[in-house]
């Protein structure tokens, strides 16, 4: 089987004039190599393919049997949808969620609207223009202010917590100018932060594992910010399973599976939750293209003890093949 490994490479340095986290979601060469190596041990013939403007031609000319999609795409709100849509257009089966789910989940506000009937979400407002800023006063402070359609903690840095209306508005204007996208303003939840890995497809989707992300040293308000992620060895501690009662873990698993299903996720996804002061989990966001860096990927960390790195990667392809009725391994 010939597999196209779809990816976007992280440039050595951000283009002049862009924020230094502009390409934070893109994968390093070492991550691409690690995924390719895991797939080749199936064995499969694997060819890394850059998901840029030439992607339709590369796939059409490559005589591929399947695509392993880890591409973040190029553009703004719908960028993650484009590589999947191209595969669908060409009739090439691919791993992971389809274009609709990838577009929906990148837009945090829309994703919360979809799941909020059955899964608790933080109270918040979407600020697209100055006229929207008046709604901020209806929320309970402190607030967390972040780009609405970004991933990998882009824009969640330099103290994203606002303690008054003026501070929240200033942060909104800064982010809209810097990232050219709407801003999500939400009530900050001061409980534990937990990410849940889910694999498989309905009706057999299942929880792979859970990971609590905590500060290395006590802080008043912990945020898994970009600065923390870049300095995780000193600033973060990871606990799997999370340090929570069994009833909380069971509820987290149930809510993650519900959100996974309602958002239309396929094969694999990572869903982030934050607990409030009463211990109630609230859905924060879903990442159907979870990072698979073998050392720092959250889904890799939470899967340790359940599956090896190679098995984690290989099982994504196996789940996708089973979903489309292909039996090669």
Residue-by-residue pLDDT tens, the chain, 329 positions: 999 999 998 776 556 667 766 676 788 899 999 999 999 999 999 999 999 999 999 999 999 999 999 999 888 889 999 999 999 999 999 999 999 999 999 999 999 999 999 999 999 999 999 999 999 999 999 999 999 998 767 778 778 999 999 999 999 999 999 888 999 999 999 999 999 999 999 999 999 999 999 999 988 899 988 788 888 889 999 999 999 999 999 999 999 999 999 999 999 999 999 999 999 999 999 999 999 999 999 999 999 989 999 999 999 999 999 999 998 77
Between CA 168 and CA 222 the distance in angstroms is 18
Question: pLDDT value at position 159?
Answer: 82
DSSP 146: E
* Residues 6 or more apart whose Cβ sits within 8 Å of residue 190: 221, 276, 277
- Cβ neighbour number for residue 100 with a 10 Å cutoff: 13
What domains sit in the chain, N to C, each tagged with a CATH number? 2-94 (3.40.50.20), 105-117+190-324 (3.30.470.20), 124-187 (3.30.1490.20)
Copy the structure tokens of residue 255.
């809510």
- Do the beta carbons of residue 31 and residue 302 sit within 8 Å? no
Are the C-beta atoms of residues 46 and 34 closer than 8 Å to each other? Answer: no
CA pair distance 321, 92, nearest whole angstrom? 12
Which of 157, 174, 155 has its CA nearest to residue 166?
A: 174
The answer to whether residues 323 and 201 touch, using CB atoms and an 8 Å cutoff, is yes
Contact 293, 60 (CB under 8 A): no
pLDDT at site 226: 77
Q: Are 161 and 222 in contact (CB under 8 A)?
A: no
Three-class DSSP category at 208: strand
pTM over 0.75: yes
């Amino acid at each position: 089987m010939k597999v196209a490994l779809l990816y976007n490479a992280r440039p050595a340095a951000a283009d002049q004039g862009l924020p230094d986290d502009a390409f934070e979601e893109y994968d390093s060469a070492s991550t691409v190599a690690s995924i390719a190596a895991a797939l080749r041990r199936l064995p499969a013939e694997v060819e890394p393919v850059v998901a840029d403007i030439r992607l339709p031609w590369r796939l059409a000319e490559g005589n591929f049997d399947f695509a392993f999609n880890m591409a973040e795409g190029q553009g703004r709100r719908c960028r993650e949808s484009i590589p999947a849509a191209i595969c669908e257009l060409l009739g090439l089966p691919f791993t992971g969620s389809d274009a609709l789910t990838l577009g929906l989940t990148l837009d945090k506000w829309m994703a919360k609207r979809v799941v909020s009937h059955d899964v608790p979400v933080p109270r918040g407002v979407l600020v697209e223009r100055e006229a929207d800023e008046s709604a901020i006063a209806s929320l309970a402070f402190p607030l967390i202010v972040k780009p609405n359609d970004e991933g990998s903690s882009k824009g969640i840095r330099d103290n994203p917590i606002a303690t008054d209306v003026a501070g929240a508005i200033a942060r909104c204007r800064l982010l809209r100018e810097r990232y050219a996208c709407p801003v999500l303003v939400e009530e900050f939840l001061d409980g534990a932060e937990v990410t849940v890995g889910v694999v498989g497809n309905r009706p057999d989707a299942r929880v792979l594992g859970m990971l609590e992300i905590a500060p290395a040293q006590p802080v008043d308000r912990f945020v898994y910010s970009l600065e923390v992620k870049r300095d995780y060895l000193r600033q973060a501690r990871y606990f799997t399973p999370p340090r929570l009662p069994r009833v909380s873990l069971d509820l987290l698993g149930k809510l993650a599976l519900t959100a996974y299903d309602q958002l239309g996720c396929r094969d694999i996804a990572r869903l982030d939750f934050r607990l409030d002061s009463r211990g109630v989990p609230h859905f924060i966001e879903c990442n159907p293209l979870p990072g698979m860096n073998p050392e720092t990927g959250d889904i890799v960390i939470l899967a340790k003890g359940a599956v090896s790195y190679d098995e984690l990667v290989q099982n994504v392809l196996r789940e996708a093949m089973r979903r489309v009725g292909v039996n090669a391994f």
